[in-house]
Amino acid sequence: MEPQSARVPVEQRPCRNVSNEALRQKSCSGEKIGTRRDSRDERGNTPSTVGDAPQLCAKRLTNKKDGSQALTPAARLVALGLLLAAAGCQAWRRFPLPHDHPPAAYDEATFSRKSFASFKITARNGTPVDTVIGNAGTYRVREGDTFLDIARYYDLGYNEIVDANPGVDPWVPPVGTTIVLPTEWILPCCSYEGLVVNIPEMRLYLYRRTPGDARTLIVDTLPVGLGRDDRRTPRGRFTVRGKSVNPTWIIPPSIRAEHIEETGDTRTKIPGGDPDNPLGKYRLELTLPRYTIHGTNIPWGVGMQVSHGCARLYPEDIERLFPLVPIGTRGEFTYQAVKVGTRGGATYAEVHRDIYRYVPQLRRAARVALKRRGLGEQIDETALATALQEERGIPVRVSRRRGIAAMLRTAN
């Protein structure tokens, strides 16, 4: 059965003038912005995250008489300069400087009305018959667009849209350029129950059973931001032990020490609803000590390594996820840089960057993944090698295409 997407087809989406509204979000949570170091830097592609630096409070650079947080173009550039100066010379070279754009056409209300990736797929004995879901789309860049807003509107992480479109400036993509929307995914192997977060792709999957229908599995998938390199999101299984709305953030001593050193902020907790609270409005509490799945006060950090290890979602995504996950739900943080799966009898591979450098050889990881799925035969080695080299995070067909004679023999 072909999975049916809940998304509005790309060609039916309205033309929008998207700008870097996300950069104007207040960023005073006190968490660092993580540096993503990957092999693409040496190939000349733009890094997907900003440098390792303390965040600045936007309210210091405002031109509005009422004291609101919108920044002038000049102030935004000043803020970026201060941010990068604090980060040091290496961060300055690595950070892609955004250009000024017209006022944003997108706002929080627009993002709250967006479509979400939800699929009904056929299962046999609790296992999906096909493990490739969704369909990739395209988007034609318009004046003022940035990858931050395009990604959020189509419910993608910043890492996903950058990796799928190598060589395209994420801050000022050329107007008229057709970019790939990587809205097709291979399900991580091999748990299809509860919550599964695949760390390298920075994406969460929620599996739900249809009451009274053992042959149908509902899959919801959402992008996440994860731990920076020095505070990595851990691998492991967990159970959702609690849920909270407008949670107070009790600042761990190690993080508080960072705040004191970097900004002089001596607070020990931040109440729920405070704009500085990095947990956002909703939190899923896990049996993994110190780690949770929650919202964020910095939406542009989704798809980046920016947290102290927790998984953070867009505000509208955690609001959707929260009621779907009862206390007692099981889950897992897994690490699969290479995923393989099937659709319609064909084999596909999806390769992501090894963000924590846990996988010394992607080719060996691909072989292990194929063997685990029982898909090691009839592989197009050239297609697989290309996918492993490019690391674009898009499902690529790697099975050999059968000739007409072979198909006729199989049919008979």
- Cβ(161)–Cβ(170) below 8 Å: yes
Q: Please, how many CA atoms are within 13 Å of residue 81, restricted to the half-sphere of its CB?
A: 7
Q: Give me the DSSP letters along 235-275.
A: PEEEEEEEEEES--EE--HHHHHHHHHHH----SEE-TT-T
- Cβ(6)–Cβ(115) below 8 Å: yes
Residue 305 tokens, joined: 């390594």
- Tell me which residue of 253, 319, 252 sits closest to 280, measured CA to CA: 319
Residue 117 φ then ψ, to 5°: -85, 105
Residue recorded with tokens 């960023």: 27
CB-count exposure of residue 46 (10 Å: 0-12, 13-18, 19+): middle
**What residues are annotated to the active site?**
294, 310
- Cα separation of 173 and 366, whole Å? 32
SS3 216: strand
Considering only the C-alpha atoms of the chain, give the largest distance between any 2 of them, rounded to a whole number of Å.
78
Buried b (16+ CB within 10 A) or exposed e, 352-363: bbbbbeebeebe
Q: How many residues does the chain have?
A: 412
CB-count exposure of residue 64 (10 Å: 0-12, 13-18, 19+): exposed
Residue 398 tokens, joined: 């790697």
